[in-house]
Structure 1
Amino acid sequence: MNILFVTVFQISEQKGGTERTTARISNEMRRRGHKCYNLYAKPIGDMFEMTEFDGIYTNYSPESVRDIIDSQQIDKIILEGAFIMVKNVYDGRAKASRKPSMLFVHHFAPGYEPYFNAFYSIWNQFRYAQSLSNRVKALVKVLIYPVFKPYMDASFHKLYKVAYSLCDKIVLLSPEYSDDYCKFGNINDKRKFASIPNAVSFDEFIPLEDLSKKEKTVLIVTRLDEVQKRISLAIKIWKRIEDDAELNDWTFKIVGFGESEHEYRKMVSTLGLKRISFEGRQNPVGYYKKSSLFMMTSLFEGWPMTLNESLQFGCVPLVYDTCASFHEIINDGENGYLVTDKNEEEFYHKMHALMLDANKRMVMQKAAIESSKRFTLDKIVSRWEKLLNE
């Protein structure tokens, strides 16, 4: 089978969740004998190790899409969250002699997009822009925000509807998301939906004998973005942990980077916290292996890669219950905890109890590892092959 993966960004496992998923799926597809091609809109620079494909293209005009389809005899087109490219790909397919199926994959919880146009997010884009041109663009958004916000929100609603109309399948991360997609896109038809979760990010699982080597460390691996990730809530919970004399041998590590890091560092300083560290951009595997607990305080996610990762390395997750997909990943009280959103008291008490009960942690760590094996790359790619062969 010849598959064209259409993406907004050039593909590298190190870029982000969407790109990592695309890289792992395409690599396994190629290993199984399929040919995989990538058409992307935006390069990501030289700091990343790029994923190999049987062919890579950057021109997504309808004429170029037509030529790719016919020259490479494309059988299936998978659009990885690339709303902005749907119309051109559809028009290119219409011009081609071959008519491959188009599958659009939504990598987030449907309806999340307006949050990224919140004023807080736009203002931080201006404050922490790395170049003059980006700073000017962000300033324009700030100045015209009363007009910009409703315009962008309306455009996202339209993009959902266009993708559903033009594509043959809409692939969501959870079957629970179909209603949300329909509501946000004002769609009354559910016949095109399918669901496939993300695979675990790594091929290794921590050996059970290594669980005894874990340290008394709480871990977060994330992009530092307050609008979505709400790390300020995790820091507030950690303040209660540091104030608890019974837990003075525990530490908290935050792996990742992003535009909200300055605010988080300031918050930590203001609260006088001493056992919390910002680790920056790192390979997280070593941190997962050493850490005992994992926190997630996100307002929304799709199928979070880091939650899968925490499970496969026996790092027990405690998660604010904000997304339907969490219930497919976590069996509450068995391989992790789902906590009522923004209930700091509940979060603290569940974490406190786990910190003081090494036997309970060990039982849940073993359950976490076993539960993550539901999402091995082999199993997820087999589901993709089945869908593509329908």
Structure 2
Amino acid sequence: MPERTRILIVLTPPLDPSTGGVQMSTVKMARMLNSQGFEVGVFSFEAHGHRATENVALFSAPESGNVANKSNHAALVDAISRFKPHAVINQMPYEHAITETLRRASTVPRIGCLRNTLYSVRNNLDAYAENMLPRPIKALGKSAIGRAALLAFHRQRHAKDLRQILATYDRFVMFAEPNLEELAYFVPDYDPQTIALIPNSIPNVADRVPHKKKRLLWLARVSVHQKRADLILPIWRKIAPQLPDWTLDIVGDGPFLDDIRQEISRDRLPRIELHGRQSSMPFFARSEVFIMTSDFEGFPNTLIEAQSQGAIPVVVESYPMVRWLIRPEENGLLTRKGDVEGMARAVVDLCRSQDRLTNMAQGALRSVERFTEEKVAFEWRSLIDELIDTNPASSR
């Protein structure tokens, strides 16, 4: 019987798909690679917090300290020695210490994966200045000169990181064409041969639009940073009087949830149900509209999951990928960043038109057929086979 091809995936957080996008994408990737006949191992730099995953050999760090602990790097080297992968996929290529350990431990093909937009800082300089600058000079970050200096500093530093990644990985996997625009901003002379484009995936797409209720959905980590959970109640305050028979579901957990709960109680905001962390698919299936307020995302899983169940996304147009995924009036709607009034108006107008709801829900189903695990798994198989077949160290 021929030897199965072994793939080792490396990440820094625990292997628990319920705790974050990288973790979820790792579990999906393992499932897709299994479907293509690969044997999959996962090494996590966290010692605890893992969830058992079917058909995955789990290797984890023995000590706390994550990437900063040298013993954990030794454990990665040991995992490579025992598992003997034909290729390694690093979900954290910006962690240059991991890259160096992989380079020293094995000569098999190395694949680095982008897991966010490259514009997360460029398009959110105010938040970057607030978080990064010392208090005495925070005001400088709000001036034109200060913002220009911050952007120049970030661009130079990020370009250095990207050049190091491109030089040390056999392929840098990005999601789709908008990422090439982002990459060219930082590294104008990048070699296209070092890049592969493979999107995130969804398990399946509903055969038809599920039966819908008059419900709007906001589902994400309940935080102000990135997800902008602070916008959902201001948006609802404008929607609620105009859609008196509709309900808002807020699904997720996070540091801003108590603030939302207190505001709902204090101001007696109507028809809002808080659900905490839950499986997302039942909510997508019953909701007419999915509201997404994020300042930035990489390749938003929840957006395409919503579309796969005919929940129409109304999304803040704040990063290039969303303009690639959403075709306005066909499979969703885009609104301007910071425009609470515009977001509310878009939702109300949509919900008042059954024809638009029906047509866009059907368009959403059609638009995500290309992201099914079956199709994306084939793209991963093609890339891995190509790299292994051209690398003598990976002979099978």
Which of 62, 65, 69 lines up with 2:80 in the alignment?
69
3-state SS, counterpart of residue 12 of structure 2: strand
Q: How does 1:12-31 map to 2 (within 5 A)?
A: 12-31=16-35
CA pair 89-232 structure 1, distance change in 2 beyond 3 A: closer
Give distance in 1, aligned partners of 2:80 and 2:295.
39
**Equivalent residue for 2:190?**
189
CA contact (8 A) 2:34 2:55 kept: no
CA pair 118-264 structure 1, distance change in 2 beyond 3 A: farther
Tell me the number of residue pairs that the alignment of Structure 1 and Structure 2 aligns: 358
CA contact (8 A) 2:36 2:378 kept: no
CA pair 92-351 structure 1, distance change in 2 beyond 3 A: closer
Give distance in 2, aligned partners of 1:119 and 1:42.
30
- CA shift digits 1:154-208 (9 cap, x unpaired): 9766544432332222111222223434545x674243222211001x33x3342
Give distance in 1, aligned partners of 2:163 and 2:136.
26
Higher RCO structure (Cα 8 Å, ≥6 apart): 2
Give distance in 2, aligned partners of 1:120 and 1:267.
25
Give the partner amino acid of 2:305: E
CA pair 121-207 structure 1, distance change in 2 beyond 3 A: farther
Which of 212, 225, 228 lines up with 1:227 in the alignment?
225
CA pair 74-50 structure 1, distance change in 2 beyond 3 A: closer
CA pair 89-51 structure 1, distance change in 2 beyond 3 A: farther
Which ranges of structure 2 fall in alignment gaps of 5 or more residues?
63-70, 142-149, 387-396
- CA shift digits 1:58-93 (9 cap, x unpaired): 367565444443443322111013532x43443443
**Equivalent residue for 2:117?**
109
CA contact (8 A) 1:253 1:276 kept: yes
CA contact (8 A) 1:219 1:252 kept: yes
- CA-CA distance at 1:269 after TM superposition: 4.4
**Equivalent residue for 1:131?**
none
CA pair 111-265 structure 1, distance change in 2 beyond 3 A: same
Give distance in 2, aligned partners of 1:75 and 1:143.
49
The answer on 1:79 being equivalent to 2:90 is yes
**Equivalent residue for 1:300?**
296
- CA shift digits 1:275-310 (9 cap, x unpaired): 122211111222111111110111100111110111
Which ranges of structure 1 fall in alignment gaps of 5 or more residues?
123-140
Give distance in 2, aligned partners of 1:195 and 1:19.
20
CA pair 65-314 structure 1, distance change in 2 beyond 3 A: same
**% identical equivalent positions:** 22
Q: How does 1:173-188 map to 2 (within 5 A)?
A: 173-181=175-183, 183-184=185-186, 188=189
- CA-CA distance at 1:45 after TM superposition: 2.1
CA contact (8 A) 2:291 2:315 kept: yes
**Equivalent residue for 1:348?**
344
Given the two structures, how large is their TM-score scaled by the length of structure 1?
0.81
CA contact (8 A) 2:112 2:165 kept: yes
Give distance in 2, aligned partners of 1:340 and 1:387.
37
CA pair 234-57 structure 1, distance change in 2 beyond 3 A: closer
Which of 53, 56, 59 lines up with 1:53 in the alignment?
56
CA pair 165-145 structure 1, distance change in 2 beyond 3 A: farther
**Equivalent residue for 2:167?**
165
3-state SS, counterpart of residue 292 of structure 1: strand
**Equivalent residue for 1:35?**
39
3-state SS, counterpart of residue 88 of structure 2: strand
Q: How does 1:237-252 map to 2 (within 5 A)?
A: 237-244=235-242, 247-252=243-248
Which of 280, 287, 295 lines up with 1:284 in the alignment?
280
CA contact (8 A) 1:219 1:253 kept: yes
- CA-CA distance at 1:358 after TM superposition: 1.7
CA pair 263-102 structure 1, distance change in 2 beyond 3 A: same
CA contact (8 A) 1:223 1:257 kept: yes
**Equivalent residue for 1:125?**
none
Greater shift, 234-243 or 48-57, is seen at 48-57
**Equivalent residue for 1:132?**
none
Given the two structures, how large is their TM-score scaled by the length of structure 2?
0.80
- CA shift digits 1:349-381 (9 cap, x unpaired): 321122111232112111111222110001111
CA contact (8 A) 1:175 1:194 kept: no
CA contact (8 A) 1:9 1:43 kept: no
- CA shift digits 1:108-162 (9 cap, x unpaired): 101426979858779xxxxxxxxxxxxxxxxxx999998xx99x97976654443
Give distance in 1, aligned partners of 2:356 and 2:167.
50
CA pair 89-217 structure 1, distance change in 2 beyond 3 A: same
3-state SS, counterpart of residue 56 of structure 2: coil
Give distance in 2, aligned partners of 1:62 and 1:229.
32
The answer on 1:257 being equivalent to 2:277 is no
Give the partner amino acid of 1:106: L
- CA shift digits 1:189-231 (9 cap, x unpaired): 243222211001x33x3342x63x3110000110011121112
Give distance in 2, aligned partners of 1:182 and 1:269.
48
